[in-house]
Homo-oligomer: A and B are copies of this chain.
């Protein structure tokens, strides 16, 4: 086994771009069928190399996509950390190990999110100096770059110091993935005025205002933001604890589904309306696509020593193919190395030890 930590870091990220994305074939609502179909799309249409991980007999014909055999499956109802420890031959664990062992560039799972996080964390490890990995999700902003919200569920309870580090990782991610040269980073809270928020937010605001965290990540701090700012491009990155972020993500996914499905149904409610609606479909279709929180690409677990992506459980083959491409893009832009560089720069230049290497 070759440990990633043993390879020169710069050359490692570069060499990774030739490796396949390890895709957990067994995770997701329609796994393995939709996952395998998505992998085929990614290989054949997008030219991204893939290795599928799971039970070969259930995966079936792969059109030549290689398979790493894994006999166990972690279900949506398994307890994440315990199942990762117990099911050592599960698809998501083996997929993460493929990255650790230099067989794959990155890992993608649409299965149990907690298990995907735990497998990535336990098998890949944290980047040195990163206290906690966080899940970053890009939210659509019509006609503009998405706004990245993090943490969207890796850490239900957070410390102010972790949130400062999420802000830094979010800035690095927004620049690498969306080309935002100087990301505007804000904090999610319940009022524009300073001092609005819960105890965690107030403590975090003090750190964000008083420490020089922006230097290492090249961000501009834009202060307090509210829920309504999320989809209008008020910032490039918004920081919150994982409980809040996960609830925002699922509330908006659910709300958008309700709204767009209601409109689609209404436009097919009678034959007369339906005939007319055919004429407006072409202008509405791009909006449906653009507003689909999921289609913007999967969630990224930032802070692990290897790219780990989490796709929606209900992702279609197209969603899976997009997520595979995103995983490949994250490797291409050397996301892991960029976070390492940020941490090291911070460690060198930080004037405040509370956000340096000593974070608990």
Chain A residues proximal to chain B, CB less than 8 Å:
77, 79, 114, 142, 153, 156-157, 188-191, 193, 196-199, 201, 226-232, 240-244, 246-260, 262-263, 266-267, 269-270, 273, 276-277, 279-280, 283-284, 287, 291
Q: How far is the CA of A315 from the CA of B266 in the complex (A)?
A: 27
Residues in B with CB closer than 8 Å to A197 are 156, 243
Main secondary structure of the interface of A (DSSP, over half): helix
A255→B252 contact, CB < 8 A: yes
Determine if B276 and A253 form an interchain contact, defined as CB atoms under 8 angstroms apart. Answer: no
A243-B246 contact given A259-B259, A280-B273, CB 8 Å threshold = no
Give the contacting residue for A291; candidates B250, B259, B269, B284; CB below 8 A. B259
Q: Is the CB of B266 within 8 A of A246?
A: no
Chain multiplicity (copies): 2
Distance A100 CA – B197 CA, assembled complex (angstroms): 30
- Do residues A246 and B142 form an inter-chain contact, with CB atoms below 8 A? no
Q: Are B262 and A142 in contact, CB atoms less than 8 angstroms apart?
A: yes
Residue of A244, A251, A258, A266 ringed by the most chain B CB atoms within 10 A = A251
- Asked if A247 and B248 make an inter-chain contact with CB atoms under 8 angstroms apart, the answer reads yes
Q: Is the CB of B258 within 8 A of A260?
A: no
The answer to whether A247 touches B142 (Cβ under 8 A) is no
Given known A-B contacts A77-B193, A276-B280, A280-B273, A188 and B259 have beta carbons under 8 A apart: no
Instruction: Collect the chain B residues with CB atoms within 8 Å of residue A259's CB.
Output: 256, 259-260, 287, 291
**9 interchain residue pairs of minimum CB distance:** A227-B250, A228-B254, A227-B251, A198-B243, A156-B198, A190-B246, A266-B283, A276-B279, A228-B250
CB pair A283 B255 closer than 8 Å: no
- How many Å lie between the Cα of A240 and that of B241 in the bound state? 15
Contact B273 A247 (CB under 8 A): no
A77-B193, A227-B251, A258-B232 known; A198+B283 contact, CB < 8 A: no
Question: 12 A-B contacts, Cβ less than 8 Å apart?
Answer: A114-B191, A190-B242, A190-B243, A197-B243, A240-B247, A251-B252, A252-B252, A255-B255, A263-B263, A266-B283, A273-B279, A276-B279
